[in-house]
Amino acid sequence: QLQLQVSGPGLVKPSETLTLTCSVSGASIENSIKYWSWIRQAPGKGLEWIGAIVYTGSAYYNPALRGRVTISVDTSRNQFSLSVESVTAADTAVYYCARQGETVFGVIGNNYFDPWGQGTLVTVSS
């Protein structure tokens, strides 16, 4: 059964870089024709897609995050990671990782999210 687990610090200072890792078990990132995604949810708010990566390292990002975000993949560890630079209080959120998409005739399509990791709250505060 595919499972995703987020790890990383729960507190980050303003202007610093937030870094989280999602560990995947039950499937190989390298052998999956899927995207691996980050999504966040500010306290009491809705869901915001941050970006996604495929095992080759090709990544897509939400333009709203204005180039502050980098997603990387480590297939040897079956993990993918998120970095958000120059964080402010507005980046305080629960951060989720999720598998995105399904394989349709050998390409990734139907880009919904299933399953999701449990999420971790990251607070930006001095």
Partner 1 sequence: EVVMTQSPTTLSVSPGERATLSCRASQSVRSNLAWYQQKPGQAPRLLIYGASTRATGTPARFSGSGSGTEFTLTISSLQSEDFAVYYCQQYTDWPPLTFGGGTKVEIK
* Interacting residues with partner 1 (CB under 8 A): 46-49, 51, 60-64, 96, 98, 100, 110-119
Min separation Cβ 63 and partner 1, Å:
7
Give the nearer residue to partner 1 in terms of CB position, either 36 or 61: 61
At 77, the amino acid letter reads R
Min separation Cβ 40 and partner 1, Å:
11
- My answer on whether omega of the bond before 63 falls inside 30° of 0, hence cis, is no
**How far is 7 from 54, CA to CA, in rounded Å?**
20
What does the buried/exposed string (b/e) look like for 7-46 if buried means 16 or more CB atoms within 10 Å of the residue's CB? eeeeebeeeeebbbbbbbeeeebeebebbbbbbbeeeeee
Give the nearer residue to partner 1 in terms of CB position, either 105 or 112: 112
Min separation Cβ 35 and partner 1, Å:
10
Give the nearer residue to partner 1 in terms of CB position, either 14 or 115: 115
